[in-house]
Structure 1
Amino acid sequence: MYKLRGHHLFCLLGYRGMGYSEEYVKNMTKLHQTLRNNPHTYIQIVNEPDHLCEKYPNSGKYHCQDAHIYERDAAILKKLGLQIGEILQWRNIEAAVRNRTVPADIQVVCETCSWRSYGVCEEGIQEMHDGKRLREIN
């Protein structure tokens, strides 16, 4: 079981193999591909630094504890209808994305995210709506 915070649920949809450091990318790719290949993997929703934050580079300010990150987590969980502490399979998170979001939601709930300008998270939500799974990362 993996522990994930709210905004990382959307980050995983848009993940394309880029990240903050080589160690971060390696960790995120491993998790991403685990979820892609085994959507029955259990996820616990947390309100704290999670499995992905563990590999955030120690290069100054630790953004995983910033207030605006917690606000983004809460907004995404509300949008998906999920609760802190909930344990569910990744496939159920994908279903929540399909049933409760649209690609344009990224422009609002992820307004201050530096990755938003790439457009990949919107693509990820659209791909969920199109019945696709997470992309394969090479």
Structure 2
Amino acid sequence: MTIRLRPHHLLCLLTYVGKGYSADFTRNYDAIAGRLSAGETIRIVDGPDDICTPLLDDPTAHCRNESIIERDRKAADDVGRLLGASIEPGVTMEIGPELLIASRTAFRLGQTRTACAGCEWSDLCTAIASDGFAGTLVN
């Protein structure tokens, strides 16, 4: 199978340690982290993705907000620069060990964090990156 991810979740997966918006959200993200760690392919999508699924029954879920769409755009630009490739809907990729290391290094150095401005999880992600990504679930 292929995991559908919106661009800003390419950054979120780097620091995911099992914390989330709800128990259902966390269970779902834990399963996705396991699939990513096993080498499952990612397909970039526009809008809510497989990580968002547990939130979508709520008509006010932030997944559809313009601010999140803008976050996706910024993340696609930053990750695209890092990879030297266009990050847009339909693109497929795998997060292998080399890409994970390069992505985490760029994240820790602030080179791919434009999309993180204003995110409620930013301080936690900064702390995780500063601690060498200890405890993260995508390996």
Offset at residue 119 of structure 1 (A):
3.2
Distance 1:112 1:32 in 2: 24
Establish whether residue 119 from structure 1 lines up as the match of residue 125 from structure 2: yes
Query: Would you say the 8 A contact 1:72–1:109 is kept in 2?
Result: yes
The residue that corresponds to 1:87 in the other structure is 92
Cα-to-partner distance string for 1:63-98 (whole Å, 9 max, x where unaligned): 000011011111111111122210111227536625
Does the Cα contact within 8 Å between 1:106 and 1:122 map onto a contact in 2? no
Mark the CA change 1:106 to 1:87 in structure 2 (over 3 Å): closer, same or farther.
closer
TM-score of the superposition, structure 1-length normalised? 0.77
Q: Does residue 1:65 correspond to 2:64, yes or no?
A: yes
How high is the TM-score relative to the length of structure 2?
0.76
Deviation at 1:108, TM superposition (A): 3.3
Q: Deviations over 1:17-76 (max 9, x none)?
A: 11111111000001112212x12x111001111001111264562100001101111111
Unaligned runs of 5+ in 1: none
Name the CA shift for 1:70/1:96 in 2 (closer, same or farther; >3 Å): farther
**What letter is aligned with 1:111?**
A
Cα distance, 1:73–1:117 mapped onto 2, change above 3 Å: same
Q: Give the aligned partner of residue 13 of structure 2.
A: 12
Q: What's the offset of the Cα at 1:135?
A: 2.8
Q: Quick one: structure 1 residues 88 and 119, their matched pair in 2 at CA, closer, same or farther if it must change by over 3 Å?
A: closer
C-alpha contact (below 8 Å) 2:7/2:73 kept by paired residues: yes
Change in Cα spacing, 1:122 to 1:22, as seen in structure 2 (3 Å) is: closer
Q: Across the two proteins, how many residue pairs are aligned to each other? A: 129
Q: Percent identity between the aligned chains? A: 27
Extract structure 1 runs of 4+ deviating beyond 4 A. 57-60
SS in 2 for 1:97: helix
> Which position in structure 2 is the counterpart of 1:110?
116
